[in-house]
């Protein structure tokens, strides 16, 4: 498709979705020190007007492995702020930065905090395209001095038409949205429809910037980019190797080459910096992030067109299927019926999503509603395998969606779902979803005061507790970091096991890279004692400093000898559990000196 001469040399900007690249690939984001390392190279590439620095799930991930997310956001945004590259974040509307609704006072505080931390633009979306959930965030953004970018969650169904979306865009622009994002989260938006939608918005609102965000998923995104650019789009979200394409986003180089050939004014890429950034990103994968990246997310899949689910869900969905696979086959064997392969089960699940989705009112399949629809479909498949009826296992969050607690569904519910709700005594509602969730900041202030915790600069620590209370408490107690380190060690062990190594061989390799902690005398190993020392046995991955008490030896004459490692390292194996009697020279444990969090 050739671009008409009327739009030749139109300027197209690029935005790097560095956060979403990682979120679509695996479980974790880079650490603070890694983000600080990559930022100068992203700048040096010279082709980005915007970089996505934080948003949904980003901060929870920081908390999960024991980092302060506020320090992370400030450290990552500063280099871009200094050179005039705009930073943007993702806001899930009523759910803000998490998977479930957030009180209004916490949502409003988020905007004060994020602006102070250096975030310029907020991409506000609602999984239902419910304007009542988006408009408050537009107002909070304007009050805080941020640019509100309202989002249309793109999907493909009989009701998700150009007219449907352009009407929503009109309402959001009237409410103060200065930009519109077409969020094609599963990459299933049809290119032609996206082009017509872009034109419809631009014809009515020529000064409103349009940014296209399309995952590669089933492979339509490059055609979609051409169509939206031909019809007036201004900014395109791109990824970069080594985690572009697959279920992620198209790569910068390919997008730039395609648009340049069509006559658009696109920025040049400093390829030397690109290669350095590419190598550094790979080093983050090799460091530890790769242990939590699903390899199937590197693949495109046309099957996504059938179910409409976001590509980033494929990893968790396959884990769900593997979890129920053996149980379903056991039922089938008991009935003398043929067993199902994992592929058989996958197709069954996709078919069931296709069946369930319209009956649940066509919620756009994006977080968290994509998870709700998938969960219902999976439960239905399991129940039908048992010879039971559909719809018997619907969780409370899904019922909240069905009943209207999260907002209006785009389409009508099927009569059987309405009857099921009525039979359970549930009531449907159509009030403002925010009214279901009262203000909560005062309760969180009280908790911080009782714990002696600082509210933080610009109340950012108060905000973090209020937004992610459970994860923040685990972060403050240190439990989160311990849990992550244990998780990482298990992932490393599992990776070695995939090579076919036996447990003995894996243990041998780990010991070869570690140093032993030797018993200096005979005695009984104690990890829990009533004197100053460890409060519990160490877990795999637990870090000890060179001068820190590692354990105690209870001597025959009733004294406790303190055992120090003599070096800083992390536990890779415990050879002497609590109460073990050891002799002088026996190995108590092995610690690896190298430390990814040094």
pLDDT over 90 at 326, yes or no:
no
Please state which of the ranges 41-55, 223-237, 475-489 shows the lowest mean pLDDT: 475-489
The predicted pLDDT at position 315 comes to 59
Specify the higher pLDDT residue, 324 or 103.
103
User: Residue 6 has which token pair?
Assistant: 């009327």
Mean pLDDT to the nearest integer, 41-65:
92
Tokens for 281, please give them: 């990103």
What are the angstrom distances between the C-alpha of 102 and each of 203, 216, 588?
35, 31, 48
Q: pLDDT-based confidence at 560, cuts 50/70/90?
A: confident
- Asked whether the CA dihedral 282, 283, 288, 291 is positive or negative, the reply is positive
Q: Looking at residue 60, what is its pLDDT?
A: 85
74 pLDDT above the threshold of 90: yes
Check residues 4 and 457 and name the one with the higher pLDDT.
457
The owner of tokens 């040096």 is: 44
User: Other CB atoms closer than 10 Å to residue 184's CB: what's the count?
Assistant: 30
* Whether residue 35 sits in one domain with residue 164: yes
| C-alpha count within 13 angstroms, C-beta hemisphere, residue 127 | 29
Residue 84, pLDDT above cutoff 70: yes
Tell me the DSSP string of 425-436. T-----S-GGGG
Does 170 fall in a domain?
yes
Span 2-16, average pLDDT: 74
Q: What is the mean pLDDT of residues 210-223?
A: 95
Residue finishing a domain among 406, 435, 464: 435
- Percentage of residues in the chain with pLDDT exceeding 70? 94
Same domain, 208 and 83: yes
What pLDDT was estimated at residue 533? 43
Same domain, yes or no: 429 and 531: no
Q: Average pLDDT, stretch 210-239? A: 97
Q: pLDDT-based confidence at 316, cuts 50/70/90?
A: low
In this structure, the answer to whether residues 287 and 338 fall within a common structural domain is: no
What pLDDT, on the 0 to 100 scale, is given for residue 598? 34
Is the pLDDT confidence value at 389 over 80? yes
**Integer Cα distance of 24 and 37 in angstroms:** 21
Averaged over 14-43, what is the pLDDT?
A: 93
Q: pLDDT tens across 570-579, in order?
A: 888 888 888 8
Render 229-276 in DSSP notation, one character per residue: HHTT--EEEEB-TTS-STTS--BHHHHHHHHHHTT-B-----HHHHHH
Q: How confident is the model at residue 223 (pLDDT cuts 50, 70, 90)?
A: very high
> Using 50, 70 and 90 to split pLDDT, how confident is the model at 312?
low
* pTM for this prediction: 0.82
- How deeply is 203 buried, as exposed, middle or buried, from its count of CB atoms within 10 A (0-12, 13-18, 19+)? exposed
Tell whether 234 and 375 lie within a shared domain.
Answer: no
Q: What is the CATH number of the domain that holds 233?
A: 3.20.20.70
CA atoms of 492 and 485, how far apart (whole Å) = 11
Residue span of the structural domain in which 389 resides? 309-435
Question: Residue 550 falls within a domain, yes or no?
Answer: yes
Instruction: Tell me how many degrees the CA angle 45-51-54 measures, rounded to the nearest 5.
Output: 140
Mean pLDDT, to the nearest integer, of 250-264? 97
Assigned token pair, 534: 């460890």
Kindly report which listed range (157-161, 194-198, 329-333) carries the lowest average pLDDT score: 329-333
Is residue 68's pLDDT more than 80? yes
218 and 356 together in one domain: no
Residue 86 predicted with pLDDT over 90: yes
Burial environment of residue 219 by CB neighbours within 10 A (0 to 12, 13 to 18, 19 or more): middle
Give the model's pLDDT for residue 497: 73
| Lowest-confidence segment of 119-123, 273-277, 363-367 by average pLDDT | 363-367
Instruction: Give the per-residue pLDDT at 108.
Output: 98
Q: Do residues 99 and 446 lie in contact, with contact meaning Cβ atoms separated by under 8 Å? A: no
The residue among 539 and 164 whose pLDDT is bigger is 164
Are residue 243 and residue 354 in the same domain, yes or no?
A: no
Token pair in block for residue 551: 């354990």
In a domain, 452, yes or no: yes
Residue 488 lies in a domain: no
Q: Which helix (H) or strand (E) holds 591?
A: strand 587-592
CB 363 within 8 A of CB 369: yes
Question: Is the domain of 324 the same as that of 206?
Answer: no
Q: In the prediction, which pLDDT does 531 show?
A: 45
What is the structure's pLDDT at 311? 63
Query: Would you say residue 505 lies in a domain?
Result: no
Cα dihedral 82→78→216→91 (10° resolution): -120
Q: Which of the residue ranges 223-232, 308-317, 406-415, 460-469 would you say has the lowest mean pLDDT?
A: 308-317
For residue 424, pLDDT beyond 50:
yes
Position 485 in a domain: no
β-strand pairing of 209-214 with 569-574 = unpaired
Edge to edge, the sheet with strand 581-582 lists: 560-564, 549-554, 523-526, 581-582
Query: Are 247 and 138 part of one and the same domain?
Result: yes
> Of 31 and 296, which is predicted with more confidence?
31
How far apart CA 399 and CA 536 sit, in angstroms, is 42
Tell me the per-residue pLDDT of 171-188, one tens digit each, with 9 for 90 and over: 999 999 999 999 999 899
Q: Is the pLDDT of residue 47 over 60?
A: yes
Average model confidence (pLDDT) across the chain: 89
109 belongs to a structural domain: yes
* Average of per-residue pLDDT across 436-463: 97
Domain count within the chain? 4
Q: For residue 149, which phi and psi values (nearest 5 degrees)?
A: -110, 105
**Strand-pair partners of 544:** 569
User: Domain check: are 462 and 379 in the same one?
Assistant: no
Exposed, middle or buried by CB within 10 Å (0-12, 13-18, 19+), for 88? buried
CATH value at residue 527: 2.40.50.100
- Between strands 86-91 and 48-55, the pairing is parallel
Among 236, 261, 264, residue whose Cα is nearest residue 250: 236
pLDDT of 383 reads: 87
**Same domain, yes or no, for 199 and 56?**
yes
Residue 503 lies in a domain: no
| 128 has a pLDDT exceeding 80 | yes
Query: Does pLDDT of 538 surpass 70?
Result: no
Domain shared by 278 and 316, yes or no: no
């Amino acid at each position: 498709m050739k671009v008409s001469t009327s739009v030749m040399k139109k300027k197209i900007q690029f935005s790097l979705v560095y956060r979403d690249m990682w979120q679509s690939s695996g479980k974790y984001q880079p650490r603070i020190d890694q983000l600080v390392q990559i930022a100068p190279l992203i700048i040096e590439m010279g082709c980005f007007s915007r970089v996505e620095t934080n948003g949904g799930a980003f901060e929870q991930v920081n908390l999960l492995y024991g980092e302060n997310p506020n320090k992370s956001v400030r450290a990552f945004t500063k280099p871009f702020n200094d050179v005039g590259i705009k930073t943007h974040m993702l806001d899930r509307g009523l759910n803000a930065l998490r998977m479930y609704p957030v009180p209004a006072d916490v949502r409003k505080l988020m905007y004060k905090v994020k602006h102070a931390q250096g975030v310029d633009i907020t991409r506000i979306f609602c999984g239902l395209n419910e304007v009542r959930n988006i408009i408050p965030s537009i107002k909070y953004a304007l009050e805080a001095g941020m640019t509100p970018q309202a989002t249309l969650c793109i999907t493909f169904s009989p009701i998700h038409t150009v007219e449907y979306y352009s009407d929503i865009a009109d309402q959001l622009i009237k409410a103060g949205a200065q930009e519109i994002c077409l969020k094609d989260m599963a990459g299933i938006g049809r290119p032609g429809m996206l082009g017509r939608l872009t034109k419809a918005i631009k014809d009515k609102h020529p000064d409103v910037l349009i940014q296209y965000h399309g995952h590669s998923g089933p492979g339509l995104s490059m055609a979609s980019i051409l169509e939206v650019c031909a019809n007036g789009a201004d900014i395109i979200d791109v990824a970069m190797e080594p985690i572009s394409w697959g279920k992620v986003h198209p790569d910068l180089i390919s997008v730039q080459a395609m648009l340049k050939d069509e006559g658009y004014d696109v920025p040049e890429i400093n390829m030397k910096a690109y290669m350095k950034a590419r190598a550094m990103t790979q080093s983050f994968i090799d460091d530890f992030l790769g242990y939590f990246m699903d390899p199937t997310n590197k693949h495109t899949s046309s099957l996504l067109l059938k179910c409409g689910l976001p590509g980033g869900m494929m990893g968790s969905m396959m884990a769900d299927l593997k979890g129920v696979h053996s149980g379903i086959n056991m039922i089938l064997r008991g009935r003398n019926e043929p067993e199902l392969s994992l592929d058989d089960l996958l197709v069954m699940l996709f078919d069931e999503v296709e069946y369930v989705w319209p009956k649940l009112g066509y919620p756009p399949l994006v977080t968290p509603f994509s998870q709700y629809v998938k969960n219902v479909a999976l439960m239905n498949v399991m129940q039908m395998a048992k010879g039971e009826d559909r719809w018997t296992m619907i969780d409370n969050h899904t019922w909240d969606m069905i009943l209207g607690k999260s907002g209006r569904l785009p389409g009508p519910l099927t009569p059987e779902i309405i009857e099921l709700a009525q039979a359970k005594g549930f009531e449907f509602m159509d009030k403002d979803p925010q009214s279901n969730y009262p203000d909560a900041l005062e309760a969180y202030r009280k908790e911080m005061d009782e714990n002696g915790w600082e509210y933080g600069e610009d109340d950012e620590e108060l905000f973090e507790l209020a937004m992610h209370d459970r994860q923040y408490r685990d972060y403050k107690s240190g439990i989160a970091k311990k849990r992550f380190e244990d998780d990482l060690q298990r992932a490393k062990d599992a990776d070695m096991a995939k090579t076919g190594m036996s447990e003995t061989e894996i243990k041998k390799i780990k010991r070869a890279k570690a140093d032993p902690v030797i018993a200096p005398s005979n005695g009984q190993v104690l990890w829990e004692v009533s004197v100053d020392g460890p409060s519990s046995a160490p877990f795999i991955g637990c870090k000890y400093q060179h001068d820190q008490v590692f354990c105690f030896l209870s001597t025959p004459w009733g004294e406790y000898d303190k055992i120090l490692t003599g070096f800083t390292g992390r536990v890779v194996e415990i050879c002497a559990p609590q109460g073990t009697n050891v002799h002088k020279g026996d190995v108590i444990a092995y610690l690896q000196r190298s430390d990814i969090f040094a």
